[in-house]
Structure 1
Amino acid sequence: MLDGVNDVILDLAGSPWVYLVVFAFVAVDAFVPPVPSESALVALAAVSVSSGDPDLLLLGLVAVAGALVGDNTAYGIGRRLGTDRFAILRKPKAVELIERAERELDKRAATLILTARYIPVGRVAVNVTAGATRFPYRRFLPLAVLAAVSWAAYNIGIGVVAGSWVRDNPLLGAAAAIVFALIVGVVIDKIMARHRQSSQDASDRPTS
């Protein structure tokens, strides 16, 4: 049974269509967060370590291209439609992210756009807000490129590390990579939440 599942994974990873699938997943994930682009990228990188397919460099380039298309699409949507027409952006967490983005894009755009790429709802909220608030596109584009490159390298790196531990079993390597990515994501979320709380406490502290 396990050998059969491994064969399916290897067949998909070895198909040239896998690059188109990854591109589509990553692009759509930039404005439809439930699409699991991180998991797919991490799993395929782990499989590549065992089987040689898909090609890691091409996988990374496709992921970067998909992220750029998606993030620029989100920016364009925000510029044309604003932030209040989408149910996912009216949820409390998204509203908080949008309000923060509106306050901080002019002051800390690089930090905001780079970190938001690693948070599914965050990247939607920040990029749509950047468009809606007319954040200059000439500043947005290079930051989006840097965010896409670092995000793709991070996810592929996790897949490579996990896949190296379990070279003889692509399925187990992919599963280990996804779990590792989830753990790292939770840790990053907690660190960012603590940083936000510290910043809020500092702003609320009365000045003498």
Structure 2
Amino acid sequence: MLAETWMLDLAASPWALAVLFAVVVADAFLVVVPGEAAVSAFGALAVTTGSPPLIAVIAVGAVAAFCGDAACFAIGRRVGLERWRWMRGPRVSAAFGWARTRLDRSTAVVVFTARFIPFARLAVNLVAGASGSPAPRYLAAVAIAAVGWSTYQASVGAIVGIIVPGGPVVAVIVSVVVAVGLGVVVDAAVARLSRRRTAE
């Protein structure tokens, strides 16, 4: 099967982890880039093909997530929240307001929660940088969240790879679907909780 051959070649490629790193870093800036799905897919490949090693997938995913979030924090610190036109749109401004309110209440909790919600994490990182959050403390929270996120996403893929028959192609497809589905559920749950707290 062509797809299976391609996936086996990708898994064995010395560039596999570099590709994963690039996708996850890009996901920090461009919410349409599927960073979560990529880590889950590589987690599935790790257990169905043996390459790349699962621990390497987790480590690279975590480092890439940290680098992307730290870069967004640095951009917020340097350019603020109004430099570019897209930042001044009503939806983006509302997201920045949401992030600012949450960061004032509990930095660690909001950083960890936002790591699992693509646009929220972009808003939180930019706002934290622009508002002058102390870099050492904030980036420590970002690092912990990145490790937790990468471990979770890779584990989703690995578990799917173990329990779903059909080889690496099926495992990757199912792991991506599961990762996206879980992301939607988490996003909806956080939004509902946020609305409830606002109402109170």
TM above 0.5: yes
Q: 1:60 to 1:47 in 2, by over 3 A?
A: same
Give the distance between the partners of 1:105 and 1:120, measured in 2 at CA: 17
Letter in 2 for 1:124: L
Deviation >3 Å, runs of 4+: 85-94
Q: 1:86 to 1:28 in 2, by over 3 A?
A: farther
Q: 1:167 to 1:110 in 2, by over 3 A?
A: same
CA radius of gyration, larger in: 1
Partner of 2:9: 11
Match of 2:110 among 93, 109, 112: 112
Partner of 2:95: 97
5 Å matches for 1:23-34? 23-34=21-32
Letter in 2 for 1:58: A
2:106 is paired with a residue whose SS is helix
- Aligned residues between the structures: 200
5 Å matches for 1:1-208? 3-86=1-84, 89-202=87-200
Give the distance between the partners of 2:42 and 2:174, measured in 1 at CA: 12
2:48 is paired with a residue whose SS is helix
- What 5-or-longer segments of structure 1 have no aligned partner? 203-208
Give the distance between the partners of 2:6 and 2:50, measured in 1 at CA: 15
- Percent identical pairs in the alignment equals 36
Give the distance between the partners of 1:200 and 1:184, measured in 2 at CA: 24
TM-score by length of 2: 0.94
On the 8 A contact 2:24/2:38 being kept in 1, the answer is no
Give the distance between the partners of 1:7 and 1:89, measured in 2 at CA: 43
Give the CA deviation at 1:42.
0.8
Give the CA deviation at 1:122.
1.1
1:66 is paired with a residue whose SS is helix
- What 5-or-longer segments of structure 2 have no aligned partner? none
